[in-house]
Amino acid sequence: MAKTISKLVPFLLLVTLYLSTLGFIRSQTFSKILSPSSLGLNQEKLTHLHFYFHDMYGRNPTAVKVAEAAQTNTSKTYFGSVFVMDDPLTLLPDVNSKRIGYAQGMTVSASQNELGLLMIFHFVFTEGEYNGSTISILGRNLVFSDIREMPVVGGSGVFRFARGYAEGKTHSLDAKTGNAVLEYNVFVLHP
């Protein structure tokens, strides 16, 4: 009997090693399925945000051109121009009203036939219950449309897992300076 056990020991060690290796391989995967409730996703809220976005190019600009294509200056749509922005968000159309955050990101003139912008930016909130949270926007903005709809593609903080849409419309535009005040209504589903 002792001889039989001594013959089984190497086999049992080999099986144990093999099974532990399988466990190691399984633990090295890069993903796993989670329950949405483990991340607080039991119930979603729909939040409506309303504020004003100040895009300023004159003195103390909040948006600056960082790149352009060879044909940008001859294009009626400024095709190929890239602007980076850090525009204040306020409760009222007056730039000196209560500031609630910033729109930070970039716009690209992406159409050769109409003034159509690719908008890539975050609404960064610095006040109230949304302080430290962001909403991410990625979409097309046809500048001369009455209302421009752009998708909400994510967020952080309170708006983690966010989805929805933002509607922007021109509140006022200074043709001489290019400064604009835009009114935004944002509808966001989030945990």
The tens place of each residue's pLDDT in the chain, 191 residues long, gives 566 666 666 665 566 656 655 555 555 677 888 888 887 778 889 999 999 999 999 889 999 999 999 999 999 999 999 999 999 999 999 999 999 999 999 999 999 999 999 999 999 999 999 999 999 999 999 999 999 999 999 999 999 999 999 999 999 999 998 899 999 999 999 99
CA dihedral defined by 115, 121, 126, 131, rounded to 10 degrees?
A: 130
Integer Cα distance of 45 and 111 in angstroms: 36
Integer Cα distance of 184 and 172 in angstroms: 13
With tokens 């004003």, the residue in question is 52
The number of CA neighbours under 13 Å toward the Cβ of 140 is 8
In the three-class reduction of DSSP (H, G, I as helix; E, B as strand; rest coil), residue 110 is classed as coil
First to last CA, the chain: 64
pLDDT at 159: 97
- Cβ(55)–Cβ(180) below 8 Å: yes
Query: What global pTM score does this model have?
Result: 0.80
